[in-house]
Every structure is written in structure tokens, then in C-alpha cells.
Chains A and B, each alone.
Chain A
Amino acid sequence: MTRLTRRYKFAASHRLHSDRFSAEENWNLYGKCNNPYGHGHDYVLELSVEGAVGRASGQVVNLMALDRLVNDEVLRDFDHRYLNVDIREFQALVPTSENILRVIEERLLAHWPAEWPRLASIGLRETARNSFELKAS
């Protein structure tokens, strides 16, 4: 079994704030991530695709096509944006890394070609100290 992992980067700002909570509750829950104008990160996104290697192509997946999909569905929208304002999904959803992973998974799977091997996992590094991983469904 071969698992290919591809790393992408995007820079974006976000603010952790939920309308379900009071201002004080938001501050207690999210701390400085709740500061009113948001703040940013250089996110590192890692996709792992697992499957058989094509005998002719020598590839698990066409890398050019994978890059194009990630660029079209995620990077072009997310890079150098304020997630809370510029990305429709986060207008009603707190852009924690956990939720960003779920949104990225949804966007990718909605356009994932049926003949491709499965998306095995998605990783997101918010900072050098905070990393998240989603085993794709």
C-alpha cells in the first residue's frame, strides 16, 4: 500500500467567536483568539491519498490534478483572506482548526473524482505548536 502526502500552504486570518455565548463567555473560552479584529496564521495543509500505484503512471494519483483540485476548491478562496468574512461556511461556523478541517474535507470530497483513490487524511498545522488531523470519511 502506498500513501502519498502533499503539503500546501495558505495564510489567513480568523477570529474565534460564537454568537451562542456572551462576550464574557467568548473571552473565557477563546482568550486572545477572541480579539475583535481577528488575527492570522500561516496554515500548513497536508493531504494524504492512499491506494495502489498505477503500473503505467507510477502514481497513486495524478499530482497535477490533485494540486489543481486543492487550488480551485480551497487555496484560491482561503489564501490571504479573513475566514470569518470571506468564506461563506464560516459566516455561521467558528473557524477553529477543527472546523476548517471539516470544511476543507467537504469541499474536496464534493469534487473528488470517483476513479481516484481515497482521501485518507487531512492535516492542518495552525502554528508550529498546534496541529490537527482528520481521518477522512
Chain B
Amino acid sequence: MFVTRKAEFSASHVCTQPGLTPEQNRAVYGPASNPNGHGHNYVLEVTLEGEPDPATGMIIDLKELKEIINREVVEPMDHRFLNHEVPPFDRVVPTVENVAAEIWRRIEPAFGGSRAHLHNVRLYETEDLYVDYSGDRPGDRAGDRA
């Protein structure tokens, strides 16, 4: 069974690769490469999978899930400039793909001892763009691909 909890945070970012010229960055990231950054109202959906506890009838205490998301994601990222204030985005380009994967890494350990395990992180950058990240299997990272 799955349970999904939603959260929002607002943050600014700029998407560029340090080795590329401004023109090359524009070709890859478009207006997201504008040097002074811009912001989004990110919407996060965290989905856990597990079987309900027979006594409580719950997969996880939703209050606990909310606290984990707040502590690991919303508090550090909300109303921040990701590139300047939220590691590793001082050296990793904060595309929606990379922010989703970083959220996974931040919250996944918190479910180690519980009945539920992290199934999917969905991150909306805008209404028209989102990613689903469900962890990396071996070989998923494209080492040399641009």
C-alpha cells in the first residue's frame, strides 16, 4: 500500500555549468541560466510503500512523515537560493532532476527502522514540469553523458 504526503517550498536557483560559455548554457538551460537566478514554488510529493500496522491501521504516522519532510527539506530549502545556501548545489547544478534526487538522499535514511520504505519522490518545479525519482539502481548514473 502507498501513502503520499505533499509539501511546498519556494526557492531560487540558477542552472549553469561552470565549464560552458553563457551562450552554451543558454542552449542547454534557456532562461534558467540567467545569471542572477529566479525562483519557483516547488511542490513535493513523497510516496512511501508498506503494510499498515494491524494495531494502528497506519503505514506510518503522518505527523512523523510531515516532521521528516519539514526537517530534511522544507526548513533547509524554503526561501533559500539553492546554489548559495543549500549544499551540494554550490557545485551540482540544481535542475529539478538533481533537486529531486537530493531530497531522496536526505529523507531516505529516516525510514530505515519503520514499516514503510521510500517509494518515490515527485518534485514539481512548475505545473508543467516535474520529475519522479525512485532511487538509483547500479548503472543508472550516466557517467560520461553530457
Contact = CB atoms under 8 A, between A and B. Distances in A.
Contact of A2 (B101, B128, B144): B101
Interface centre among A3, A52, A57 (most CB of B within 10 A): A57
A55 B143 contact: yes
Given A64-B27, A64-B28, A57 B17 contact: yes
Contact of A56 (B27, B134, B135, B146): B146
A1 interface: yes
Given A56-B17, A58-B92, A6 B129 contact: yes
B128 A55 contact: no
B97 A59 contact: yes
B134 A53 contact: no
Contacts of A2: 97, 100-101, 131-133, 140
B95 interface: yes
A8 B128 contact: yes
Interface in A43-60: 51-60
Nearest to A48: B132
The contact size tier of chain B is 35 or more
B30 interface: yes
A57 B28 contact: yes
B61 interface: no
B28 A59 contact: yes
A62 B146 CA distance: 9
Contact of A62 (B28, B132, B133, B139): B28
Contacts of B1: none
Interface in B80-100: 92-98, 100
A54 B145 contact: yes
Interface string B34-45: 000000000000
A103 B77 CA distance: 42
13 contacts: A1-B133, A6-B129, A7-B129, A51-B142, A52-B141, A53-B141, A55-B144, A56-B19, A57-B145, A58-B15, A58-B94, A59-B97, A63-B129
Interface of A: 1-8, 51-60, 62-64
Q: 7 nearest interchain CB pairs?
A: A58-B95, A52-B142, A58-B93, A7-B128, A58-B98, A3-B132, A54-B145
